[in-house]
Amino acid sequence: MSPPVDPVTPNPDQPKQADAVIVGGGIVGVSTAYFLAKRGLHVVLCEKGRIGGEQSSRNWGYCRQQGRDPGELPLIIESLRIWRGIEQEIDDEVGFRQAGVAYLAGTEEDLAGYEQWVEYAKQYQLDTRLLSPSEVEGIAPGGGGKWKGALYTESDGRAEPGKAAPALARAVQRLGGVILTDCAVRGFETEAGRLSSVITEKGVIKTQALVVAGGAWSRLFLRRHGIDLPQQTVVSSVLRTKPHEAGIETSISGPNFAIRRRLDGGYTVAHGGASNYDLTPDSFRLMKAFWPAYRMEKKSIRFRIGQRFFEALGQTADWRMDMETPFEKKRIWDPAPSKSILDEAVRNLKAAFPAFDGAEVAQSWAGAIDVTPDAVPAISDVEGRPGLFVATGFSGHGFGIGPGAGRLMADLVAGGQPCVDPAPFRFSRFHDGTKIRPFAAT
């Protein structure tokens, strides 16, 4: 079941020409379109389903700097700067609140791990710090003094996943950009080696620039054109409560539970320490690239083999441009949530904070998260493919960094000085012999 998402009225017609075309109407695609349109470029964004219909409306809503790969820090700092001013800038609601993020420490060992990350934060003048047990009680009352402390960043925030991508898409339209929904991009064509047009299910758009921000579909899309993006998916389950008063505004992540206050007065609740991984043919093709990540995450992964294996087996990347593609066959990827994982999350939450005892569940859902081998996205051009760009692989933390990623992508497409050093996000790192490992300090 899909979580609530604000509506966007699509433009009625597909233009024949654009300065740039964007594949995907998640937070990354709409942010890219927004920053390109702000620069005066004529953009067309094509979304196969609805704006924000996949990961961008299904996530927890954390906009956090803490706990990230240090290579991402300048971009997330820029992204938080954008979040803080975006509602005023676009005169629409995204639900951003600077209410802080805290990771609770149940043991001294947890606390020692967090201490390491505080050192990274200092290098970027972040306000991340360790909280004492009594300070934890201040931001998360009712924990009964059982916490050893917490990693806390007051300048971190939260936003409303069902609102953010739609609000930015409407802002794109107000700037003259075109938003198309139920419009899958099937592929692209080149002339003299340079990207020259994009083919959608509704026809051809002449353009010199294509940004692939297709979330969990980017690998399949690129494979059709002989480009190998190492990307896999894990399924993460979430629920929301009905309006409930637990007295906690900070986004809290504890041992095997996580919460975020919602604008509707309820809480988004998840496990945080468990997700499902469906084996597919790519599990074997990409085993070597993902081995370090697997070893790091193996405690939290619950393997499954079933229908998804055969579905992926059938998704061969050899479609013709005049035939229906896998993108049209599945307009919205809406995986079933895991009841057992969510039951565990609720049990752990209630044991940690008895104030949640009376909370009633309003809805549950899941999302397919796209991950790269180092859990860092690719925001980059594609070597040897002039005119082609990728902004994908956000590895479970792309909502918070989405506006910043869109700004960086727009800088790269339009040319000029990028807002941050794009080197950590270069696509070529997957193929040029760079040692790829996920960062693990928290």
Q: Give the footprint of ligand FAD on this chain (CB under 6 A).
A: 23-29, 46-49, 53-56, 58-62, 184-185, 213-217, 221, 236, 238, 327, 367, 369, 392, 394, 396-400, 402
**φ, ψ of residue 84 in degrees (nearest 5):** -60, -30
Element counts in the chain: helices (H) and strands (E): 13, 21
Beta carbon of residue 379, minimum distance to ligand FAD (angstroms, whole number): 10
Whose tokens are 């020259």? That residue is 196
Beta carbon of residue 88, minimum distance to ligand FAD (angstroms, whole number): 22
Residue number with CB closer to ligand FAD (121 or 409): 409
Residue number with CB closer to ligand FAD (37 or 148): 37
Task: For helices 73-90 and 398-414, give the axis angle rounded to 10 degrees.
Answer: 90
Beta carbon of residue 222, minimum distance to ligand FAD (angstroms, whole number): 10
Q: What angle do CA 195, 198, 201 make, to 5 degrees?
A: 165
SS3 content of the chain, % helix, strand, coil (to 5): 35, 25, 45
Q: In whole angstroms, what is the distance from residue 55 CA to residue 353 CA?
A: 28
Beta carbon of residue 212, minimum distance to ligand FAD (angstroms, whole number): 8
Residue number with CB closer to ligand FAD (54 or 110): 54
Beta carbon of residue 28, minimum distance to ligand FAD (angstroms, whole number): 3
Residue number with CB closer to ligand FAD (148 or 162): 162
Residue number with CB closer to ligand FAD (62 or 257): 62
b/e string for 57-85 if b means 16 or more Cβ within 10 A? bbbbbbbbbbbbbeebbbbbbbbbebbee
Q: In whole angstroms, what is the distance from residue 428 CA to residue 430 CA?
A: 5
**Torsion from C-alpha of 158, 161, 164, 165, nearest 10 degrees:** 140
Q: In whole angstroms, what is the distance from residue 93 CA to residue 164 CA?
A: 7
226: left (phi over 0), alpha (psi -120 to 50) or beta: left
Residue number with CB closer to ligand FAD (10 or 49): 49
Residue 57's alpha-carbon distances to 116, 291, 339, in angstroms, are 32, 29, 20
Beta carbon of residue 165, minimum distance to ligand FAD (angstroms, whole number): 7
Beta carbon of residue 411, minimum distance to ligand FAD (angstroms, whole number): 17
